[in-house]
Structures are given as C-alpha cells and as structure tokens.
Amino acid sequence: MSSGELENKENITVKKSTFNGLIIGLIIIVGVAAFFAGSYTSSLNSNQITAEELDKALSKLELKLLQNQLPTKQAAAPVKISEDNDPIIGNPDAPISIIEFSDFQCPFCARFHTQTLPLILDEYIEQGKVKLIFRDFPIQSIHPNALPASVAAECANDQNKFREMHDMLFEKQNEWNKVDTAEGLSLFSQYASNIELDQEIFDSCLTSGKHIEEIKKDLDDGRNYGVTGTPGFFIGNDQIGFVELKGAQPFESFKKIIDAQLDA
C-alpha cells in the first residue's frame, strides 16, 4: 500500500468507540431539545434553562438510555430484577435497590466492597435512600472456595450477622482464597467465632450444605438476567426499572444512576 493510500485510510478511519460516543451525544442533544421544546415554545423570550435543569434533563435521558440496554418482556414495562429473599444491607424500605451478584473469592468484588461500597454506605445506604441486596454468584470453575464462602455467609445470616461475615470474608480474602477447601472451612469457622456466632449451630450449617439450593437459585437467576461475570449490579426498583452496571465500577458510576433515579 502506498503512503498516500495509507494516509487516506487513516483519515477515514473512525474508532468504533468514538463513533458510538458521537451517536450517543447526538441522541442526548436531540432528546434534550425535545424535552425542553414546550418550554421554549411557551416562554422563549422570558425564561432561560438553568445549568441545574439541563444537568437533570441530561441525567434523566442518560438513565433512560441505560435502562433501554436491558431486555424487556414488554416494551412499555420496566425491567424487573428479583430481590428474592437474600440478605439486605441497609433499610429494607429504602426506595432504590442495588442488587449485586457477587463471588466472595473474586478480587474485583473485594475491591468494590473495600473501596466503593463504603462511599455508597455513607452517602446513600446509611441515609435510608438505598439498600444493597447481596445475591450469590460463585464461579466455581476459577474460584473453588467461593461456594463454601457463600454458604458461610448464608449461615451467618441465619444468626442475623450476614454483614459481619460478609465484611470479614472480603477483608480477609487473601487469607483463605488460595488454601484447600478443608482449610478454608476451618478459617470460616474461626471467623464465625470472631464475630461471636453460636459456633455449634454455625459449624453444623456450614458442613450440612443447608444453603446450596438457595445459592444455586441465585446463580440461575443471575444467568437468566445475563450476568456472566462478577460483580454484576442492577440498580433501581420495580416501578422505574433497573439499570445494569458490570464490574467493579467507581463510586461516580453508581452516584450518577442513583441520583437520577431518586430525582425521577
């Protein structure tokens, strides 16, 4: 290929991500124009859109675009993601839910729970605006101790100490994630003692496989919702629908969606 041909090719090549960004930007501009069309028609000379109103309009439109990424059974119906009867961190009556599909042995899940979740707790969960529903998605093929860790958390939940076990499993992940399963179970039993669970009840629950079916149901539900890796999040409620976030996203990604939903 000649240098001229190469130059021409480079000039007409547009990265797919850049193209998609331009398209989304165009959609937002058109959408915002339509959103404010009534205001311009009725009060063109007397009113101006404030920066705050524009930000809110953009947030709502972006939220709608994100919601449309999830499949719906009926085009007009909001997407529903089951909370099942899984452990909740926060006020059960909070208006917005973060439904998380997670794997205790996943390093990215640990990163979310040690870096991002504290900020969500401070700004939203402890204020009663958001609750976190934890659903198990142990990927046994690469994380052989993930399933017993999920069982340990469920057994702690039986004694109303899910949060304590949840935090300990993520904080001490490097301690148990590379040992064999027998040693892992021994460590989980030790953690139960550390958080003052009834040891006999916990150990019996852990070794009986009591919660295996519940964990399998979480896995099946997650796959039905298109979860292929962890962590996976669905943010919203049944009335407004849910927005999906994949991976250990930064706090700002959650904040953008939650604020738009709270204002909806």
pLDDT at residue 128, rounded to an integer: 97
Buried b (16+ CB within 10 A) or exposed e, 145-178: bbbbbbbbbbbbbebebbbbbbbbbbebbeebbe
- Give one DSSP letter per residue of 64-80, joined into a string: HHHHTTS--SSTTSPP-
Q: pLDDT tens string for the chain (264 positions)?
A: 444 433 443 343 334 443 344 333 333 333 333 333 333 333 333 344 555 555 555 555 555 555 555 544 444 467 789 988 899 999 999 999 999 999 999 999 999 999 999 999 999 999 999 999 999 999 999 999 999 999 999 999 999 999 999 999 999 999 999 999 999 999 999 999 999 999 999 999 999 989 999 999 999 999 999 999 999 999 999 999 999 999 999 999 999 999 999 987
Task: Output the pTM of the full model.
Answer: 0.72
